[in-house]
Amino acid sequence: MPIAVPGSRQSPGARALVLAMLLAGAVSPRPAGAVDEIQVYNADISEVGQWTVEQHLNYALQGRTQPEFSGGLVANHALNGTPELAYGLTEWWELGFYVPFAVNSADQLLSDGFKIRTLFVSPHAGERSLFYGVNFEGSYTTPSFSQSRYAFEIRPIIGVRNADWEFIVNPIVDFGVGQSGEADFAPAARLARQLAHDVFVGLEYYGDYGKVGNFLPIKEQQHQLFAVTDFKVGMIDVEFGLGYGLTAGSDRLVAKTILGYAFPVPGQAEGNGDHSPKTPLATRAEAARNAWSPAPDPPTAVR
């Protein structure tokens, strides 16, 4: 798949990615707050006219015992999560809506407002060996989670896959709006391998380096490495991971899970729907295998 360059004709997804790269150097992101979504975006989206739903849950088995700001949520023994509803508008455009929440160590249920995102990708990304996209996300947050009432995220997506492996990078830039807002660089990456039909294992990395142009000292930065597995239970896609913090500024031990389901596409026969969010795991692997396999030799004529 050719990569678009300045001056060439670009798809809407490619133009959005270029715009994101330019904005990433000009904006000022991310308020301090809880992490309700621990996920590497792979540029897969819902089919046109299809609704998908995911539930994210993250629990700090051994987390930070001090809030990041006065009155903020204490990460230790807190459950963070969000239900996410998404809808496919075109082959390259998806909209999503979140309602994040947390349950703290005192068993209090706390709302973190809401988030709206718009995701642009290379069409049929799950069937490509090279894929890309960009996600724009705006959020309204509450005082327990952030010192900024409004926040924005730019998440570029760049990935490659072959028959058995996939490697994805999300160089995320988050920023808060207002006096307390600042720009943070918070990259994420994933390396995964297929073990069996619909079964993947891999490693995911999540970091928060602090303010763009003035990174925090290493010991205050957040760096976490997760061992993850993806599999299916009936019609539900499941991702489970266990993460370890590599610095003093990180939560030491975090468990995460993502449960996903895709509703049937309107007008599609019930038996044809896969009922799993976005591109099925096995389909992604098979498409990559075909993309990287050499073309068969032409048949030899029989005399």
Q: What is the pLDDT of residues 237-287, one digit of tens each?
A: 999 999 999 999 999 999 999 999 999 998 776 555 455 556 655 555 565
Residue 137: which of 107, 157, 158, 114 has the closest Cα? 114
3-state SS class at 232: strand
Exposed e or buried b per residue across 149-184, where buried means at least 16 C-beta atoms within 10 angstroms of its C-beta: bbbbbbbbbbbebeeeebebbbbbbbbbbeeebbbb
Tokens matching residue 92: 């390259």
pLDDT band for position 163 (50/70/90)? Answer: confident
Predicted model pTM: 0.81
Q: Which residue's structure tokens are 């539930």?
A: 55
Check if the beta carbon of residue 221 is closer than 8 Å to that of residue 206: no
pLDDT at 39 over 50: yes
237 burial (CB, 10 Å; 0-12 / 13-18 / 19+) is buried
- Nearest CA among 74, 68, 12 for reference residue 45: 12
Per-residue pLDDT band at 7 (split at 50, 70, 90): very low
CATH class of 12-292: mainly beta
Does the pLDDT value for residue 43 go beyond 90?
yes
Alpha carbon 144 to its chain centroid, in Å, reads: 23
Q: What is the pLDDT of residue 20?
A: 40
Helix%, strand%, coil% for the chain, nearest 5: 10, 45, 45
